[in-house]
Amino acid sequence: MLSPCTVCPRECGVNRLNGELGNCGAGLEPEVSSYHQHFGEEPPLVGRCGSGTIFLTHCNLHCVFCQNHQISQLGIGRKTTLEDLAQMMLKLQGLGCHNINFVTPTPWVPQIVAALRIAQEGGLKVPIVYNCGGYESVVTLKMLDGIVDIYMPDIKYADNRHADTYSGVPDYWDIVRPALAEMHRQVGVLKVKHGIAEKGLLIRHLVLPNGIAGSRQCFEFISRRLSSKTVVNVMAQYYPTFKANEYTRINRRIKTEEYREAIEDMARLGLDAGFRQTLDTIFRTIVPEWTDDLKNE
Ligand code: SF4
């Protein structure tokens, strides 16, 4: 898949085995910015000992408001080997992490799968989290069936024009829907046991100013085409960073009314599993009553 590269929907066709770089800037050797126990992810991923997060460098999206732009777009990270990547996973498991959480895995799927084989031979057992922007190839996702336990994609926009303007992809809405449907087909709704996520789909949606994210259409798709039991984290923490101040419509935080409207739309559509943030303090996350009988449909 790396030559010609068809790992993601951009299908650049470059020969990454020979060092050519495509749109994302990812080459042959995996590049990692950092890896650590992460306590800032959703509670069922964090548990008591944290999510074993591995931040991979480069991204196939180019969001002008990316909060991780140093890693995703400016290439901050170090080249590593498959063996070292496997060792990172084993170290995180050794620290008690409840999962291995690959952040921005999309350009690196072949390398991750190769490193996972080494890690599993070394005793890796915890669930694998695929933490991505939602711009995924269904062909590639099908190859991950049985390998990824928890998919955690964004659903960023319901309008291709906005996706083109703010993330540099003119077909996001056309790509994200079949991608999320494939993830749902593979793992179903999120299953949580004793407060820890074991398997399933957890979708993130960042509310943007001026309705740019198309929140209601995103929720309609999730509720009607996937499942109304889908766990959705509706995030209010948008702030204009990186190049966002060059775009008038996203050059501010969201208003309370905009967030309220999004969660009211969710409620109307029957999406009541997931995470909301309180309106008085967006930093306090309301955790739903997780039960062990949250089943796959
Ligand atoms: S993974 Fe990178 S090089 Fe490969 S198709 Fe996608 S953007 Fe292009």
Per residue in 143-159, pLDDT tens?
Answer: 999 999 999 999 999 99
Half-sphere exposure of 16 (CA within 13 A, CB side): 25
pTM, two decimals, is 0.93
How far apart are the CA of 43 and the centre of ligand 1, in A? 32
For residue 235, what are the contacts with CB-CB under 8 A and spacing of at least 6? 204, 205, 206, 207, 277
How far apart are the CA of 268 and the centre of ligand 1, in A? 38
3-state SS string over the chain?
CECCECCCCCCCCCCHHHCCCCCCCCCCCCEEEEEEEECCCCHHHHCCCCEEEEEECCCCCCCCCCCCHHHHCCCCCEECCHHHHHHHHHHHHHCCCCCEEEECCHHHHHHHHHHHHHHHHCCCCCCEEEEECCCCCHHHHHHCCCCCCEEEEECCCCCHHHHHHHHCCCCHHHHHHHHHHHHHHHHCECEEECCEEEEEEEEEEECCHHHCCCHHHHHHHHHHHHCCCCEEEEECCCCCCCCHHHCHHHCCCCCHHHHHHHHHHHHHCCCCCEEEECCCCCCCEECCCCCCCCCCC
- Residue 272's pLDDT is 86
* Number of the ligand 1 atom closest to the C-alpha atom of 106: 1
How far apart are the CA of 12 and the centre of ligand 1, in A? 5
Nearest CA to ligand 1 atom 3: 22
Low-confidence ranges of the chain (pLDDT < 70): 277-297
Mean of pLDDT over the chain: 92
* 8 Å CB contact between 85 and 134: no
Mutate to test the pocket of ligand 1, among 1, 5, 132, 175 (most ligand atoms within 8 A of CB): 5
Pocket residues: Cβ below 6 A from ligand 1: 5, 7-8, 10-12, 14, 22-24, 26, 60, 107
How far apart are the CA of 142 and the centre of ligand 1, in A? 17
Tell me the two tokens of residue 47: 């548990």
How far apart are the CA of 203 and the centre of ligand 1, in A? 23
- Residue 278's pLDDT is 55
Q: What residues does 285 pair with on adjacent strands?
A: 277
Nearest CA to ligand 1 atom 6: 8
How far apart are the CA of 5 and the centre of ligand 1, in A? 6
User: Going by DSSP bridges, is the β-strand pair 31-38/51-56 parallel, antiparallel, or unpaired?
Assistant: antiparallel
Virtual torsion, Cα 91, 96, 99, 103, nearest 10 deg: -50
* Number of the ligand 1 atom closest to the C-alpha atom of 23: 7
How far apart are the CA of 10 and the centre of ligand 1, in A? 6
Mutate to test the pocket of ligand 1, among 3, 7, 28, 141 (most ligand atoms within 8 A of CB): 7
Tell me the two tokens of residue 278: 């309180």
Q: What superfamily in CATH does domain 31-286 come from? A: Aldolase class I (3.20.20.70)
- Among the listed residues 90, 149, 142, the one whose alpha carbon sits nearest the alpha carbon of residue 115: 90
Chain center to CA of 127: 15
- Residue 273's pLDDT is 83
- Among the listed residues 89, 80, 88, 71, the one whose alpha carbon sits nearest the alpha carbon of residue 31: 80
Buried b vs exposed e over 72-103: b needs ≥16 C-beta within 10 Å? bbeebbeebebeebbbbbbebbeeebbbbbbb
